[in-house]
Amino acid sequence: MTQFDDIRPYNDAEVEPAIARVLAAPELIDAVTRLRFPRLAGWVPWLLKPLVRRVLSQQLRGVTSVRQLQEIVSHYLDDMIDRCVDQLTVSGLDHLDANKHYLFISNHRDIAMDPAFVNWALNKNGFDTMRIAIGDNLLTKPYVSDLMRLNKSFIVKRSATSVREKFKASKHLSAYIHHSIVEENSNIWIAQREGRAKDGLDATNTAIISMLALSRPKTVDFSTFIRELNIVPVSISYEWDPCDAAKANELFAHAEHGNYEKHENEDVASIAMGIAGQKGCVHVAFGDVLSADYDNPEAVAKELDRQVWDNYVLHPSNHLAYQQLHGKVEDFPVTAQGVRFDARKYTAQQQELSRRLQGIPTEQRDIFLSIYANPVVSHLKALGKSVA
């Protein structure tokens, strides 16, 4: 037993029993069947589900360590990228040292794929994979919790209700993150905010930074403690968001009614949609380590935001949506190659945007377009400009 057993990822000794529990979960077999065979799953589930269970059992036979499991996950991720991503590009890792360990803080657009793409980039470039923060609100089923903790996820306790419980959970989480990086030499990933930026506006919640410092000893000043974490901002940009229609619907409900009621297992459905949906081009940009003297959480958040916006790669879809909303084009480069945007060169992307827009209720279309246009707005904000 250790002080972090309630939130830490599983260790090697826990892998085999956790895999046995996962394979015994009917919900998992059903989810994998629908992901792998979306067209056939509704027609012949009686045929496909036993087949899926058998294949998974064979693939996981003999797996006794987290590393072995992640090798299998890596193959699945490569397969997903081949099917659902047109091009995956990475920048900034040449500024980092594979022998050091970092706290990667990224913008947050997709529940599962944000950390998955960061992990993929690290793994392909000789870095250790990360321990990944995941809210307990997503762990609605025991098999989901097992899966996540098998894949080096640790739990963020968001279900705490009282102020005292929330503070205790946050301080415990802070201590675990610091311990992981400084004592156990592990990389960590957390999002810059709680919940996805469904509106496409990336901004660091200073409460996240305050949480990181809760376990700081009184003898250590704030700036020194933050530097020990080796914080690296990460920008993740998707050409197309598989969950764009669902996000527009939720944002519209908030705008019209002040709230949105999630249906049961909606987050799990969003995870599946984010994994299986077409994403177009994806770019992962690693920033520079936060090594300056920061006096307070606000200063750290400001630098995180600056790097996330500066390193964010815009896609033609962003400019096309912005142009449709605001009737003009801003002079920002697009794609990982940094070429000048010219709408005449991106007729296929315009057709795809129009196709997606046709499936959106008329009253939600401006919100839908703003999801794609808002990264351009963030670029303007970084330059001290506004949408005229």
Which tens digits make up the pLDDT trace of 95-119?
Answer: 999 999 999 999 999 999 999 999 9
pLDDT at 45: 66
Per residue in 232-262, pLDDT tens?
999 999 999 999 999 999 999 999 999 998 8
pLDDT at 384: 86
Mean pLDDT lowest for which of 51-55, 275-279, 292-296, 308-312? 51-55
Rounded CA-CA distance 385/388 in Å is 9
Spatial contact of 157 and 169, defined as CB atoms under 8 Å apart: yes
Spatial contact of 294 and 223, defined as CB atoms under 8 Å apart: yes
Closest alpha carbon to 104 in 276, 233, 11, 208: 233
Per residue in 114-167, pLDDT tens?
999 999 999 999 999 999 999 998 898 899 899 999 999 999 999 888 999 999
Task: Please report, for residues 21, 176, 197, 267, 374, the alpha-carbon distance to residue 384 in angstroms, rounded to integers and kept in the order given.
Answer: 53, 37, 21, 36, 15
Spatial contact of 229 and 103, defined as CB atoms under 8 Å apart: yes
Percent of the chain with pLDDT over 90: 81
- Return the number of other C-beta atoms located less than 10 Å from residue 238's C-beta: 25
- CATH second-level architecture of 66-311? 3-Layer(aba) Sandwich (3.40)
Q: How confident is the model at residue 39 (pLDDT cuts 50, 70, 90)?
A: low
Q: What number is the average pLDDT over the span 343-358?
A: 96
- Domain limits of the chain? 66-311, 314-388
Q: How confident is the model at residue 388 (pLDDT cuts 50, 70, 90)?
A: low
pLDDT at 160: 86
Q: What number is the average pLDDT over the span 299-326?
A: 97
Per residue in 63-91, pLDDT tens?
999 999 999 999 999 999 999 999 999 99
Residue with tokens 């142009």: 323
Indicate the average pLDDT of the chain: 94
pLDDT at 41: 61
Per residue in 1-23, pLDDT tens?
589 999 999 999 999 999 999 99
pTM: 0.95
Which residue has better confidence, 343 or 280?
A: 280
Residue 46 has pLDDT above 90, yes or no: no
Percent of the chain with pLDDT over 70: 97
Residue with tokens 């080096």: 152
